[in-house]
Amino acid sequence: MRTATVNRKTAETDIKLSLTLDGQGESKIKSGCGFFDHMLTLFSKHGSIDLELDCDGDAYVDYHHTVEDIGIVLGTALKDALGDCKGIRRYGSAMLPMDETLVLCALDVSGRGHLQFNLPIPTQKVGDFDTELVNEFFVAFTRQAGITLHIKLLDGTNSHHIIEAAFKAFGRSLNQALEIINDKIPSTKGIL
């Protein structure tokens, strides 16, 4: 069973996160931000990753530290749960529609953290959530997880739909990439 638990406490956040990669997409999320809880729940469901998260952050400032630090902790947990990556498919992609929105997500569990993010979001906020934090989350996640991630908006005008489609596509792409297909390291180098 590919699982990990990570606890991280700083002067800005106190985070406890547990995940099971071969799960049912069940989640218990408490980030302190309702919209971000919704996005992480969607990621968990569409990625078939069981996820428990409890974050006590300095939301009185804003959600920046909370969102970025959750990205760090989620990336760390994923890397821990994967170990040497033996047997995984390695690559995953999804083109996901949501009403007027269409988002493309493709990723490589490469060991090299890189984000290519072309997701213009029309508004600065969805509720009390700063939409620029979507990029911050994915930057933090990719660096810690060692994943190359491309997210691209192909069509769309509604900020909520664009962000939601991105998190759903991310979950589906990751689920595909993490599927066990054999007992080999998926690299000609013999290591990821």
Would the pLDDT of 48 be above 90?
yes
- In this prediction, what percent of the chain has a pLDDT beyond 90? 96
Q: State the pLDDT at residue 49.
A: 98
Task: Note if the pTM is more than 0.85.
Answer: yes
Gap between the Cα atoms of 173 and 164, Å rounded: 14
Query: pLDDT tens digit string along 89-104?
Result: 999 999 999 999 999 9
**Residues 86 and 185 sit within 8 Å (Cβ to Cβ):** yes
- Residue identified by tokens 């069940």 is 26
Structure tokens at 68: 């970025």
Would the pLDDT of 154 be above 90?
yes
Would the pLDDT of 162 be above 90?
yes
Would the pLDDT of 1 be above 90?
no
Structure tokens at 187: 């690299």
The backbone torsions φ and ψ at residue 171, rounded to the nearest 5 degrees and listed phi first, read -60, -45
Band the pLDDT of 27: cuts 50, 70, 90.
very high
DSSP string, 96-154: EEETTEEEEEEEE--S--EEEEE---SSSEETTEETTHHHHHHHHHHHHHT-EEEEEEE
Average pLDDT, whole number, for the chain?
Answer: 97
**Residues 31 and 14 sit within 8 Å (Cβ to Cβ):** no
Band the pLDDT of 192: cuts 50, 70, 90.
confident
- In this prediction, what percent of the chain has a pLDDT beyond 70? 100
The domains found in the chain, sorted by start residue, are 3-177 (3.30.230.40)
Residue bearing the bigger pLDDT, 22 or 189: 22
Would the pLDDT of 191 be above 90?
no
Q: State the pLDDT at residue 163.
A: 98
Q: State the pLDDT at residue 86.
A: 95
Mean pLDDT calculated for residue range 134-142: 98
77-112 burial string, b = 16+ CB within 10 Å, else e? Answer: bbbbbbeebeebebebebebebeebbbbbbbbbbee
Q: Which long-range contacts (CB under 8 A, 24 or more apart) does 57-63 make?
A: 57/12, 57/13, 57/14, 57/15, 57/31, 57/32, 58/12, 58/13, 59/32, 59/33, 62/130, 63/32, 63/33, 63/36, 63/128, 63/129, 63/130, 63/133
Q: State the pLDDT at residue 5.
A: 98
Q: State the pLDDT at residue 190.
A: 85
